[in-house]
Structure 1
């Protein structure tokens, strides 16, 4: 019996050693893989997906099974920190491809995931989740016009969850719970008498369903102080989305003429209708 027990122990030791050697070889191959050969393909695929030029200066391995993109720029705008991409394996059990990503900054981060169906499976949504923690919004400057990028600054925290068919984001389902601090928010509508809003604190809570963005809460303090709620009926062409919003605000000196019937020194009620491209403020 001791002899059999000793043989069994020796067999398990050899098995464990074999597994350990295989793992070490896999990790060594993973770490030593010449990832620079993927640089051109990653840049081309990302540029096509975002419809903007994407550049990467370096690619490295990131344990356990990810890659780290360094020196990343989008639309000519350099992104702070680095971006880590890694596969998600659990979605494979449901017939979906999954990718996790993480953008690390010196004092902030953006984490998230994307899953999509593979094969011929129509009407299956793309699902994504984003979670920001004190994120420098300068990371988004490459996705907007140069004029808008100049006005954009601040810190973002919160979470976004979305599910939509590719190319049909405006008809998707999702939720938003965000906080924006100490920055500047540009306004897309040139018809408004100001091109941006200085923000001390902004809380945004909304849900998306069947093409309608239901804004439950916008509480703002800064160059403007007030609140806003209502609906935005989204269109494929975002600029044509219809606004149906109401709120109240305390206007700073010199901006009283923005509203038809402002309340001096107090909260003025207002409504916002029209479209994103041509809003009508009353």
Structure 2
């Protein structure tokens, strides 16, 4: 049903007054608003006090809104950091592991360079070298102490030649093959080397004990003059070993001598030098076969 065209409120005075007041309030509000707009245009600072009062009244609500916004951002950042930190932590751990590997490689390279420099200095200083060889193995579980080198008759190696490293005396050639040789280490029980104290020449004999150390026995019995830390070198008595070759350091004192630790440990030695036997009575080294002769 269509609404009636006549919108009058009827004959009820209450309804008529209500309608009249509604229109009057609307017109009055429009006039007041228009007056405020014109007043603000004519005098912009006239309502500054009112604006400040309104701003002060709404300040607590603004602070609460700002705090809530900051707290919400913090929560979102914490949630995002929780998911991102796992991957970042894993990446840092990988980089740390790679850095440790590179550090170990650098340390190994530095140690190898030191050993090679020592061998180079040894080659320049010592003119009686027959050849240089790699120490390929040594006994560890047996009571006997032997080592193998990758040089034999093809490099001029002969039985009885002393073997030393950059740090000290290793032993002497026991058996020789075509391309390899066996070395009797100075720590073997059958090894006996004349030695002396490097500082004052106190004479003694050094015999291997089969456990990686040597037993130092004094020639002149009496008060033991040895001290811990004394360096023992080959004396050259009887030939074979060159005088002054470093050999061991005293660690434990005994009534008639001492126990010493060898300076050249086969487990820490890569390359060795085979030199001619020392002494005027030593036989000349065998000739190295040439390629022309072998062909």
Smaller-chain TM-score range? under 0.3
Larger radius of gyration: 2
Give TM-score scaled by structure 2 length: 0.25
Q: Which has the higher contact order (CA 8 A, sep 6+)?
A: 2
Give TM-score scaled by structure 1 length: 0.26
Higher fraction of helix = 2
